[in-house]
Structure formats: C-alpha cells, structure tokens
Structure 1
Amino acid sequence: MATHPTDTKQDLEKILQEWDNPGQAVIPMFHYFMERENYVSPEALELIGQITGFSQSDLLGVGTFYQYFSFHKEGRHIIRVCLATPCVYCGGKGLLSALQKELGIGLDETTPDGVFSLKPAQCVGQCHEAPTLVIDTNIHNNVTPGEIPALLKQYREGKVSPQPAVPMGPPLVNEPVVFTGLKAKETLWIDRYESAGGYAMLREIMAAKDRTRIMNEIESSGLSGRGGGAFPMAPKLKNVMKNPKPHYVVANADEGEPGTFKDRYIMERDPHSFIEGMILASYAIDADAGYIYLREEYPHSYQILLKALDEARAKGYLGKNILGTGWDYDIRIYRGGGAYICGEDSSLLNSLEGKRGTPRNKPPRLSDIGLWKKPTDVNNVETFAAIPRILKEGGAWYKSLGDEKSAGTKLFCLSGNIRRPGIYEVPLGATLRHLIEELGGGVPEGRKFKAVLPAGSASSMLYPVQMDMALDYPTVKAAGAFLGAASLIVMDDSVCMVDLAFWMSGFYHHESCGQCTPCRDGTEDIHEVLQKIVMGEGELSHLEFIKSLGEYMRTASICGLGTSAPNIPISSIEHFEEEWREHILDHRCRTGICSMSRKKLVDFPVRRSRGLLADLPLFHPQEG
C-alpha cells in the first residue's frame, strides 16, 4: 500500500536528517521507494528533488548508475536470477530459461498481468548453494527448473511471506582457528558473544586508554587486507593517524566478486566480532565516525547488522563517551544499489558520498584524501573481524598461523564443480591440493579437474600442474595469478573454456562503470569478438586481437576492474588453445555448451541504464 504523500514527505525529511548532507541522503531515499513501490516514480523523483535541492537530471544521473533502482513501473514481485559463474555452471542458464518459459517474458520485462518482473543479478553471495534466484528479498537456493511453476504459483497466490533475517547456508565446514563464531548455526547475538569473551578486549583496552597497544598488535600480526588487495593494515592506519582530523573508518562490505560469500557469513553469524574489530581499529586512530558500506544483495545481513549495532549501542560500546573514555563514535550502515565496481575502495567512497560509484585516480591515497576528502581507513569485513582475536592471543600468535610469506589464516570460499562446496578457514600457505581434494572432496565423480579461478572472476586461472602450490599472496602472484578474496571457483572437464571467457567478458562489459576508455571500450570489444567465436563466426586473428587489447587494458585502465577484465580470456587462450581452434576452425564446441549459431545464442545481458521507459532493449535467449 502506498504511503500517504504527507507521511512520505515526513519520512524523506527524516532520512535527510540521518545523513551528513543532502547528496548522501539520495540513495537511501531511492531505497525507500524501491521497498514500498518497487520503483521510483516521476512523482517520487520530484519529491526527492524538492527535499534535497537536486535537479531530476542530477538524481537520475546517480540513480541509473545502480542496477537495483528502477525508474519505470515494475511488477508486484521482482525476480532476480543469478548469472554469476558459480550459478551458471551449476544450472543457472537452465533456471533462466525455465523462468522465461513459465513467465513468457525476457530479462527486464514484466508479465502482462503486472505480477512479475524478471531481472539479472550479478552474484548474490550464495555461490555454494547454486543456482540461486531472489524474489523480492527472499533468497531461493538450489532451485531446479522443475520447481519453478510451483514456486511462482505460491507468489501469485500471496502465500509467501518475507523470510526471517537468519544466516543462510550451513556453518563453516572445517574447524575454525580465528573465526570460531562461524561454526554457529544461528546468529551470535551480543549476550552469547560476550559470554564467550566478546568485547573483553575492547573493555580492557579502553579501561587503560591504550590506543598504542592496538596498533602494535596489528602491526606485529602482519594482518593484511582480506578483500583482495592484501595491503598491510597497520601502515594504512598509521597514515590516517598522521593526518589532521577528522578521521573516518569504512568497512567494505560490498562483497560482489563472483564466488565470494565469506563476509556475508561473518555478518550473519558473528556480527559482533566484526563490529568489535571495527571499533578497536577506529579507537586506535581516534576516528570520528564509522560506516559499513553494505551491498544491496544482502538483505539478511542488513537486518542482522541493524540489530547488532543497536545491541552494541545499548551496552555502551557505541555512542557518546564510550565506556567512560570521553570518545564519541558510532557506526552507520549505508546500502549500495547493485554495482560490482563499488567493491573498489575509491568507487565505494564516491557511492558513500551519494555519487555515481566511479573510481578515483591514485594518488592521492584514501588514507590521505578519502571520504569527504578526509583521511579514511577502508578495510574488509574479514580484516576487521580478525582484530579481537589478534588482541586476545597476540600478534605473534596470529602471524605464526600462516607461512613465512603471508601471515594468519584466510577464509576460502569453494564453489563450482566441487563435491563439498562451502566456506573453510585455512592457514595461508596451505596447498591448492589440500583445499580442493582433501577439504573440498575434489570434483564430482567421473569428471576431471580442469582449472580453478582463485579470485572469482578477477584472476587468471590455476591448473592441475599447480595443485601443490602454496596458497599465499606472493606465491600465487609469482604464478601469474592472484589470490584476491580467495573465492575459488572449481571447474571440471564439463566446462568449455571459450564459454567461460565469453561469459566473463559479458560480466565485465555489463559491470564496467564506463569512466575510462580502455575499460569501457575494451570490455565491449572483447565481448563482441567472443560473441562471434561462440556463434561459429570467429577467426584466428581474433585471438591475437584479444591478447593485444587485453594487455592495453591491463596497462591503461584506471582501476582493477579494467586491469582484471582480460585475465580469464587471455589465460584461457594461452592454456586451452586447442579448444579455441576447434571453435574457430571446426565450428565445434566439444562440451556442446556454445551455440555455434546466432539463433541459439544465450548471451549475458548488456550493460544499460535503468532508464525511464519500460520498453528499453530486451534480452530473449532463443530456444531450440
């Protein structure tokens, strides 16, 4: 039911007061209307403009950047089918076809009765239970095409309620070392967290007002960023400290890399370890405010974090004069709008300021000029969540858990063609064989291990000859790949490596922010060439074109999206050239995945603005 206009205006004015300036309030206002009406109407846009002072063109310039915001009327229920790599290789394409057949529509269309709209999703963090689709905020995992008619019937008849905010998926598979809370089947709320020793380090350090101890232990632990960059945390904190105040701390919870779901596990199962770690890091640098930038695709995490933050405030761990120290500090959650690029730290800060999430040129470093052009520490959820245990056991203890090249443990996400998918805590330096065969159980029976993506879609592949490689940051980098967030997508011999490159090129073309020419045009050109190859229209010269253009993108792109985009196509060509030649010369795909025909092509949805018209270019995979 639509809110009365007077109430709506009051609600928007309240949102305006909650944020630092009108620009930062715009994205929360978009969320307000999406939650109530499934789109931002022209009337809503006009009202937002009146309250914030922004023109409609300015508002649309921000809003259409994010794929979760719609500016034309949608169905009563919005279905988002995950098209990221783990879901695609576990039946995602078949799920999409079943949805289209049952609904009679393509992507970005609405059924004639106005009940359902069908949209793509680029990883919803349920990779170990793929394939996945999301209806409204309800997450449905391991869905088969045969289940689609009955599931949609339930929604049509109004028999489905919003899911409760509980952890999704089974607990951590192996025995934890640092992240003991991940063995819980339910959320560890503050009473249980404190009974297990939670917040004890925060109370002890604040009683002594010992900021130096926090910094010393983090430095001696060798803790580095766990979101992909692996940059040591202590130097970032020290650089913020040396700059004039105000200081900000931002948690990057925009976990959008396909195959990655570790941060979601922390936020849903053990949120207070993350919150305590963030408070400790903030106290170390005398931060003035903290923000959690959370991806829109995590509705359960959002509700759980809201409650956990309220619990921390009620206990005096957040707010004014925390534990009698005279230090005022609070943490707020800022939800994104669905943009892979916002996982990049500077893009995230631009989005947090209420802008389009485009990356910044570096230097300057964010620890010098970050949020609101002030010194800012940005770190990953897993990084912050390790800090309480480091303070309890000591930095030397944590460092000893890894090998001589990389300190500590790492949460590894296993998905794809693997018998025991899930989340594992493993010491850095363990071998690829240990992770895939001993912990993950290897590939399904009757198949052969072909390759693994060690960092979701971002890295070049690792291969069977590298099974005894140590999984630490320098070793993987020396092999021409990188570990990133340790989201391992395992592939067996049922996977076509040309199709993998094609699908990944579509993903990057869709997710490019379009700011820099090498990435904007490069992702489009590579995808168009790969499209020709999988349709049976490729030429051998295309292979050199992909390599040449890819090297240019690696050199000239502003951020990691553009430099990473060509990694999978290039490594696939280098290590599986025979498959590429079969596609080009013999017009044959040995797995039968590639259509080798224009008529049968199933393509990734193209990147486009979520504009004002409902009849924008549509996507219709052909049957037969």
Structure 2
Amino acid sequence: MELYRGHILICSGTGCISSGANSIKDAFEQQLAEKDLAKEFKVIETGCHGFCEMGPIAIVYPEGTFYCRLEDEDVKTIVDEHLIKGRLVQDKLYNPPHSEDKIPSYKEIAFYKKQHRIALRNCGYVNPEDIDEYIVKGGYEALGKVLTELTPDQVIDDMKKSGLRGRGGGGFPTGLKWEFTSKSESDKKYMICNADEGDPGAFMDRSILEGDPHSIIEGMVIGGYATGADEGYIYIRAEYPLAINRLKTALDQAREYGMLGENILGTGFNFELHIKEGAGAFVCGEETALMHSIEGKRGMPRPRPPFPAVKGLWEKPSNINNVETFANVPVIFEKGADWFASLGTEKSKGTKVFALTGKINNTGLAEVPMGITVREIIYDIGGGITDNKKFKAVQIGGPSGGCLPENLIDLPVDYDSLIEAGAMMGSGGLVVMDEDTCMVDLARFFLNFTQDESCGKCTPCREGTKRMLEILERIVDGEGRKGDIELLEELGETIKTTSLCGLGQTAPNPVLSTLKYFRDEYEAHINDERCPAGACSALAKYVIDQDLCKKCTLCTKVCPVSAIEGKPKEVHKIDPEVCTACGVCVEKCKFDAIKKG
C-alpha cells in the first residue's frame, strides 16, 4: 500500500467538470510529475463537494484547505507555494484566514458549518470509481451485519424504528413500505431505485450517484434481503451519463467483491441489479409509470390499488424508493436506528438534501437536519440573496411544491410544517426569489412545465392544467379578466382531488400557494394592468425620474420605437402608448434615471 504525504481531492461532479475540473486535475498531475512530487501527493477525483458556486474546487489534505474557482494557471502556484513551501495561496481560498500561519479547514466555511451529511457522507471524500475507498470508509459493513446477524423482520423493525421517510417527495415511512412488500406472497419480488430526477434545478440524486454509487447498491441489497426480493432495477434518466458510467463501474466492482450477485458474502442470499435508462419523462417519477417504462411500455400511471407492494413490476410485488432514501439505509444499520431517530424532529427524522438555486449567493447542495428553518438555509448556508436584494419567497418541493413568503422564513423545514403551509418537501428543490420576481409569472413557469410533462391519461390533469395555464398566460400578457382568480382556485382544487397520479395532484400547488400568499399581485395584474415586480414585459411601464435625468438625449437616440421625447437640456419623457418596454434605454442610461413604474 502506497503512503502519501498529502492528497488533492478534485471535485469531479458534473457541475465542476463543466467548469473545467478535468483540466485542473490534469494540470495537478503534470505539475506533480514535473516537480518529482507524484509519490508524495496523490490526486483523487471525487464526487460533488456541494459548493457548486465555487467550482472548480480542490481540497488539499491532510489540512483540508479549500481552494476554489480554480484556473489552470493557479495549479502551478498552489504546487510551488503550498505543497513545496507550505504557504497558502490566499487569493484562491474561499475565506482567507486572519493569520498567514493558520491553514483553514473547509469545515470552517459557513456553507458547511450547519450541514449534517449522511446521504452525502462520502461525496467529495472518496473516488466513486474505487470500491476500496468506499470499504475503507466503512462501506458494506452494514450489509455484512444485516446478512449475518439480523433476520429480514429485524431489518424491517429497525427501519421502522429509525423513522426514515421516503425522500422522493411523498414522505411515506420506508420501513412500513418494506413491510408491505415483505408480507406479499410471491415467487418473485423486485427492489427498484427511482433515480428519475426531473425537477428543474434539482440535482441531489445525480450527485449521490456520481459521488457515492456504492451506498445505493448497499442500500438496495439490504432492502432486497428485508423484502425477499432477489432482483432490482435502478431507473435513471439518460441525461445523466456520468452517473450512469460510475454506477456501471460500481456494479461491476460489487459483483467482483461478492457484494452483489449469487451467494453474497457467502450467506446464500442472491441479489442482482440492473440499470434501466429512461428518456427523461417527468411523469416517470411516479412509481407506476416508472414500472411501465421498465417493462418497455409508455410511461403512464395506473390507478391504485393494487399498490406496487402487491402488484408492481411485471405484476410482481415491488418496492420503490428514491436515491437519497437508499443512501441513508447503510448508515442506519452502521450507527443504529436509535442514532438516526435522534436527528431531526418528532415526525421527520434524519436529514434532507436540498439543491439551492435561484437568487441565492451560495448555489449548490446542502444536507441539513430536519427542523432547520428556511432562514438558516438561505442566509447561514446559502449566504443570502444575490446583490443584497430583498428576499421575497422560496419555492420548496420543485414544480409541484409551493411558494412560501417572507413572513414564513422562520418556518421549520419538516414534512408536516411544509404541508400545513401549502408547500411540500418534494425531492428537495429549493428556489429562492428576490424582490424582482413576479409571482404570477413564476406560477406560470412551473405550471407550464408540469402541463407539458403531463402524460395525458387523465382528463383533470390533461385538460385542467391546460386551462389554468391559458389563464395565467393571459394575466401576464395584460389580458386578465374579472373572475380569473376564482376560476384558477376552482380549477386547482378540482385537479388536486381528481387527478390519477401525484403529478396532477400536485401540479396546481405553485398557483394555489401564490394565490394564498401573493393574491395582491394577481389583482394588480388584472385590475390595474400592472406587474408590481416589473417583470412582465407586457405590463412593464418605464418612466424617467425628472430629478435624476441629466437631459443628455442618449435614451432618445437608442429607443428603437422613438417613444422618448426630449431635446438637449430638456427633461425627457416616455410615451407609454408607444413604449414596447424593451429595456434598452434602462441599460444605456448612465444615471439610473429610468425606472419601471
């Protein structure tokens, strides 16, 4: 076994790779070879470190020094200064220390301080394509314990005791779900992993599969043992090529090491796993539609009952959990169900991974204890709103979730609190909005997505979401009518209660939640033909502040429709009847004299 003086961990998740991480890795290896340091320092490609805003990222161990936003030319400086001379490269540190002598660990960064990583425990720490690194971190110990010390019923009892609820959106107790499948009598059962992550801006499951694929394999094998399944499928969208490749490598390694296949660890238990690539249909996130897709059929949901635990894949009892749920399973049996249950709240145990996107400074992945407040996530971890603007709302739960306003910023993030407030945990998408966001247009955006992704099987979802979208498009175009708000509410409630599957049942949530908390914006669009946020171009009206106007005539020269009147040394005015609200004058005015009225 080779011993190294230090390790350089390069974030090689999709986000950092798109920013140039592969080039950074090559540059480090080249510099180490040229400086004859290749036997002293090892470069390791890892999964996502979570702090996507700062990529490409490299962490130098054993100190844990966090270098970010790296470029190829920075690598030579880090090797010369840090690795050879022991001096920090200050301008590439995220948070330079107060003292030159102090080498800061990345754990001191505010983004990581309030996180508690369980599902993401190995992402950013191990090479996802090396099973030995997973094993060194305790991997497959839980599987060994389960297969040699526990009966299937004891495994299910521990899962129920842990309080783990499904992280895919519904929040159904995982142990109870396993128990239903276990009690179904059949000569064949299936364990399925739902990796069909389709929420806009969500990349939690992708990052776990890219950074720690063995944890999913281990969790699924344990689940197979508990339920009596001997075969499983990982249903993953084809748009995740890196995750698929690393997963294939991990499956081959697990078979080679006896963790998968026949007679696992010599216990007589057999379990095999397959990968099924999906075509990216959002509705295939619904479990019955997903199973139809695996079978080679069109991904469309079916009525329940019978539930998958009784009649699922190929009409055999089947259990479906998502990626994050399975990632938690090995830790529960490694550290104990009581340990896991001690985290979070009374009814929401453990942690939750969120993808932080939108108008927030620290975009990326954050895994936090259940019960943490929205404020802590946005300001303590997310670093607040971009450009120091005012926080307006947060969309939690993806396109099927709901918008929470500023006065609910101290709401604890757990399943029940979010449902009560009109939102939902969902798979973990968290989109932050500032004062410039139009909530009507935001609702239109999310409904447009779900309407487009509707499979069309049931009338409420197929036709109802289309009618709601038509109304929203009229409103943002300045053609709203009296009664539109009431009609949106009526349609939304009807679709929720009569749609066949979860897509239709939750599709109206963004509209209903914005109507609940931002009704005044809808009324302004309809009654006053005004967008309070100034975001809807059809309703945007520009005015010139007479106190700020320098009478330079620059705006009159750039206006493409000659809507601005004014001569040199005269205060200019905009004719609202002619103005197309293109915004060119706003961009060109050097004195910030033109505002949205």
2:349 alignment partner in structure 1: 407
1:420 to 362, 377, 382: 362
2:166 alignment partner in structure 1: 225
1:199 to 94, 115, 140: 140
Change (3 A) 1:294 1:441: same
2:248 alignment partner in structure 1: 306
* Deviation (angstroms), 1:592: 3.6
1:521 to 458, 463, 487: 463
- 1:318 aligned onto 2:251: no
Alpha-carbon distance in 2 for matches of 1:402, 1:324: 37
Alpha-carbon distance in 1 for matches of 2:270, 2:126: 34
2:547 alignment partner in structure 1: none
Q: CA deviation digits over 1:65-101, x for unaligned, max 9? A: xxxxxxxxxxxxxxxxxxxxxxxxxxxxxxxxxxxxx
* Deviation (angstroms), 1:204: 3.1
2:326 alignment partner in structure 1: 384
Q: CA deviation digits over 1:347-377, x for unaligned, max 9? A: 1111111111111111111111111111101
1:542 alignment partner in structure 2: 484
Higher mean C-alpha displacement, 389-398 vs 212-221: 212-221
Within-5 A mapping of 1:140-151:
none
Alpha-carbon distance in 2 for matches of 1:505, 1:264: 24
* Deviation (angstroms), 1:390: 0.6
- 1:180 aligned onto 2:121: yes
SS where residue 307 of structure 2 aligns?
Answer: coil
Change (3 A) 1:188 1:214: farther
2:182 alignment partner in structure 1: 241
SS where residue 554 of structure 1 aligns?
Answer: helix
Check whether the contact 2:190–2:313 (CA below 8 A) recurs between aligned residues: yes
SS where residue 234 of structure 2 aligns?
Answer: strand
Alpha-carbon distance in 2 for matches of 1:173, 1:521: 45
Check whether the contact 1:173–1:422 (CA below 8 A) recurs between aligned residues: no
* Deviation (angstroms), 1:190: 0.5
Change (3 A) 1:444 1:597: closer
1:215 alignment partner in structure 2: 156
SS where residue 555 of structure 1 aligns?
Answer: helix
Change (3 A) 1:282 1:507: same
Alpha-carbon distance in 1 for matches of 2:232, 2:292: 15
* Deviation (angstroms), 1:597: 7.9
Alpha-carbon distance in 2 for matches of 1:589, 1:478: 29
Q: CA deviation digits over 1:462-510, x for unaligned, max 9? A: 1111122111111222222221222211111111111112212211221
Alpha-carbon distance in 2 for matches of 1:485, 1:368: 25
Within-5 A mapping of 1:355-366:
355-366=297-308
Change (3 A) 1:207 1:475: same
Alpha-carbon distance in 2 for matches of 1:185, 1:442: 30
SS where residue 461 of structure 1 aligns?
Answer: strand
1:574 to 516, 525, 541: 516
1:508 alignment partner in structure 2: 450
Alpha-carbon distance in 2 for matches of 1:127, 1:366: 37
Check whether the contact 1:588–1:596 (CA below 8 A) recurs between aligned residues: no
* Deviation (angstroms), 1:129: 6.2
- 1:436 aligned onto 2:378: yes
Check whether the contact 2:436–2:534 (CA below 8 A) recurs between aligned residues: no
Unmatched 5+ stretches in structure 2:
1-49, 55-68, 70-105, 541-581, 585-597
* Deviation (angstroms), 1:424: 1.2
Alpha-carbon distance in 2 for matches of 1:478, 1:176: 25
Equivalenced residue count is: 438
* Deviation (angstroms), 1:286: 2.1
2:217 alignment partner in structure 1: 275
Task: State the TM-score, normalized to the length of structure 1.
Answer: 0.67
1:255 alignment partner in structure 2: 197
Alpha-carbon distance in 2 for matches of 1:623, 1:371: 54
Alpha-carbon distance in 2 for matches of 1:238, 1:309: 26
1:24 alignment partner in structure 2: none
Alpha-carbon distance in 2 for matches of 1:421, 1:469: 21
Check whether the contact 1:293–1:335 (CA below 8 A) recurs between aligned residues: yes
Task: State the TM-score, normalized to the length of structure 2.
Answer: 0.70
Check whether the contact 2:495–2:505 (CA below 8 A) recurs between aligned residues: yes
Q: CA deviation digits over 1:241-289, x for unaligned, max 9? A: 1112211100000111223211111100011111111111111122121
* Deviation (angstroms), 1:535: 1.7
* Deviation (angstroms), 1:186: 4.9
Higher Rg = 2
Aligned partner of 2:413: which letter? L
Within-5 A mapping of 1:281-296:
281-296=223-238
Aligned partner of 2:125: which letter? A
Alpha-carbon distance in 1 for matches of 2:381, 2:332: 25
Change (3 A) 1:365 1:319: same
Q: CA deviation digits over 1:118-145, x for unaligned, max 9? A: xxxxxxxx99669xxxxxxxxxxx9xxx
Alpha-carbon distance in 1 for matches of 2:512, 2:369: 30
Aligned partner of 1:500: which letter? L
SS where residue 378 of structure 1 aligns?
Answer: strand
* Deviation (angstroms), 1:402: 1.0
Unmatched 5+ stretches in structure 1:
1-125, 131-141, 143-169, 599-621
Q: CA deviation digits over 1:200-251, x for unaligned, max 9? A: 2212332346434422321211111011011001111111111122111000
* Deviation (angstroms), 1:515: 0.3
* Deviation (angstroms), 1:459: 1.7
1:589 to 531, 536, 556: 531
Change (3 A) 1:230 1:371: same
Alpha-carbon distance in 2 for matches of 1:128, 1:274: 22
Change (3 A) 1:544 1:396: same
Aligned partner of 1:497: which letter? M
Check whether the contact 1:176–1:182 (CA below 8 A) recurs between aligned residues: no
Alpha-carbon distance in 1 for matches of 2:268, 2:347: 40
Aligned partner of 2:296: which letter? G
* Deviation (angstroms), 1:582: 2.6
Higher mean C-alpha displacement, 318-327 vs 189-198: 318-327
Change (3 A) 1:408 1:188: farther
User: RMSD of aligned C-alpha atoms?
Assistant: 2.4
SS where residue 436 of structure 1 aligns?
Answer: helix
SS where residue 366 of structure 1 aligns?
Answer: coil
1:59 alignment partner in structure 2: none
* Deviation (angstroms), 1:623: 12
Change (3 A) 1:580 1:312: same
Change (3 A) 1:572 1:478: closer
Higher mean C-alpha displacement, 325-334 vs 203-212: 203-212
Change (3 A) 1:492 1:186: farther
Change (3 A) 1:127 1:537: farther
1:562 alignment partner in structure 2: 504
* Deviation (angstroms), 1:405: 2.1
Alpha-carbon distance in 1 for matches of 2:267, 2:231: 16
Q: CA deviation digits over 1:504-552, x for unaligned, max 9? A: 2211221110000000001111111112122221112211111111111
Q: CA deviation digits over 1:421-443, x for unaligned, max 9? A: 11111111111111111111111
Alpha-carbon distance in 2 for matches of 1:471, 1:415: 17
1:487 alignment partner in structure 2: 429
**% same residue:** 44
